[in-house]
Chain A
């Protein structure tokens, strides 16, 4: 129990409905956990609780050896960053890209003012966005580009854990692939620890090391990726896998290893 994310007995209830039911989950450092499940199974709630946006009713979340308090400190918040599903909504429309990227850098004193420009450009380069973007506004970019900018901003505070809640679902199919490739390469370059949520089995297969399945607020299966995709332990896991539409044999090649 040294690094990585550890969740113990996490429970969240909304007006009598149990959204998360005694979740137990560990994510090893530098690995990616793919979280799957149908809509309403509690995936996003789990993401938001881990990100500190929802206060759980019970349970402990700890990052490394440090349990996260119910009311998180700035330093604790900084360690966990989240990428949202819809990049149209996750960037404030009235701030320029420069303002969006530099705000947290300055607020947490991560860089000095003189190095700010340089750091912003580095962040943009890392997500393959041209430096000329700095003085433009979110609405001038496409969905995929906006999602890249959101990723750059999340990375700006050098988080220990990155949560991605359906980060490709709102994007065009063609763009999905490139954003997914970006995640894979960032994962390798930066040794990220990630909680990656998707209902797309192909996406999960491409990015995860471990797969966790949620249903009705409970975690029903946790398995290594290879085992899960070869032979899931639970009937529900099998059901999810068999629900994936397949292309006719021969034309079907999935983006297994980007």
Chain B
């Protein structure tokens, strides 16, 4: 495992979004001595399958699994998350949106999500994050828009073979192994996410029930 390498792993089915996403990744400030890798996963049959493929194809210690329609606007993102991981080896995963206590229903939006809404501050300084000053939220699960890890844990494509609940599943898999899941307390959203306000969720319930059976009933 290369401790000086970070890999962005993205499942892609829309080149317009992906190219824009990559534009922001290329804009990130890269700390000295850190290598950045980007893996585009095309034709994945599920998010877990795509992420497992990416995970096995990179020797980067730090991996960032993210949506193609998420844009990293915090240009210090790489140094921020590496500093969080290095501050505590028990932190297994970092997200940008999380849930502190997941309800028994498994519905993420029913619980209290972090972060809330911030007031706009001027300039790039609004993104400066300081681990000691700003802190971390401890969460039970994080949203799949962006999930950064410092340990490779297999994604449960045996159970979550679609596009839902892969995020909560992986969060619980990390916690089962004793790792912490955190969201940095950030002053301004570190990302923009162009998901539209739609609630399709066609297969959502099938995976919700699997999640409950696997993680709440066992």
The answer on A and B forming one complex is no
